[in-house]
Amino acid sequence: MTMRVFDHLDQIIEPFFNAAITIGNFDGVHVGHQALFSRVIEKARAMNGVAAAMTFDPHPLRVLRDSNRPPLITLHEQKVELIEACGLDVLISLPFTREFSATRARDFVEQVLVRHLGVKALVVGPDYSFGRGREGNVDSLGRMAEEMDFELVVVPWVEISDPQGERISSTRIRELVAEGRAGEARRLLGRFYQVRGEVEKGRDRGGKLLGFPTANIRLSDELCPKGGVYAVTVKIGDELHQGVANIGYSPTFDDHEFTVEVHILDFSGDLYGKKIKVNFVKRLRGERKFDGIASLIAQIQKDVEEARGILAFA
């Protein structure tokens, strides 16, 4: 069944039947978020009700902060796709504004969750906070749940299996991607880190000059992996291809222009104007300046062969 998506509360005419709901920004839709969704589905099925998530667009920090806004792990389109893949019935994606941020915690629970949405089970993490000045928390939610007759379910943090028992968080994922540590980011995300975009006209150099044609995409607000060369997989429509991506400034050519260029292995065809999705499997090396075209071509050939070996087991 297709997940229903609501972009405003006014689109919801009447409360859902026995709604189990979780609330969050869900940037990255990482393994911790997926644990919340699983519990929501479990509660909803037990009540023969509706499994729902509420999120916000744009990300609240992009509204509340004038600077130091975190780059997005997942753009809104991808976030919706990933949440739907988790099996939820409903996604409520509310516009986030400064006015909305001033809503009192109790008003939000009583007017939005209980009266408008019909919540019967609210699923949150241990550090969940909400409402004006983040005045609402798990303790106050527990009191309101008892008063307003819904169940509060607090799901423990999902920990990474390492000696420190580190928490899975969007912040940690941003750090790993920015450091080029694609494999470690994959453990936290439950999938490869992905960027997507429409293929643009490049500098017409990859195929004609180097013998390795590339599909060039422009990133918007999403988190960019550390510059360098990566083994990647590329989704074109329903087909998955292997590839090698270069992120950076092409120092051999002194371009001084940031690009994301993807050479798709064993592929021929016109991709201009088409959307592709690029999954980062492993960083092969950093960018460096070569002493000539021949040296660069030889290194690209090595990169391609190394990527083939890695992607054969990805």
pLDDT in tens, 252-284: 555 556 789 999 999 988 899 999 999 999 999
pLDDT band at 163 (very low <50, low <70, confident <90, very high): very low
Indicate the average pLDDT of the chain. Answer: 90
User: What is the rounded average pLDDT of the residues 165-172?
Assistant: 81
User: Which carries the bigger pLDDT value, residue 160 or residue 304?
Assistant: 304
Kindly report the CATH class assigned to 4-154. Answer: alpha beta
The token pair at 57 is 């667009």
Considering the chain, what percentage of its residues have pLDDT values greater than 70? 92
CB atoms closer than 10 angstroms to residue 95:
13
- pLDDT tens for 90-124 read 999 999 989 998 999 999 999 999 999 999 999 99
Cβ atoms of residues 280 and 193 within 8 Å? yes
- pLDDT score at 55: 96
CA dist., res. 156 & res. 35, Å (int): 9
Name the DSSP letter for residue 252.
G
User: What is the rounded average pLDDT of the residues 12-28?
Assistant: 97
- pLDDT score at 63: 82
Domain spans in the chain, listed from the N-terminal domain onward: 4-154, 193-311
pLDDT band at 295 (very low <50, low <70, confident <90, very high): confident
- Supply the CATH classification number for the domain 193-311: 2.40.30.30
pLDDT at 23 over 50: yes
CA dist., res. 132 & res. 206, Å (int): 52
Cβ atoms of residues 261 and 296 within 8 Å? no
Count the alpha carbons within 13 Å of 133 in the hemisphere toward its beta carbon.
Answer: 3
Q: Which of 28-32, 47-51, 266-270, 271-275 has the lowest mean pLDDT?
A: 266-270
pLDDT at 207 over 50: no
SS3 content of the chain, % helix, strand, coil (to 5): 35, 25, 40
CA dist., res. 272 & res. 197, Å (int): 11
- pLDDT score at 37: 98
193-311: same fold as 4-154? no
Q: What phi and psi, each to the nearest 5 degrees, are found at residue 35?
A: -65, -40
- pLDDT tens for 73-82 read 999 999 999 9
Q: How far apart are the first and last CA of the chain?
A: 30
pLDDT at 87 over 70: yes
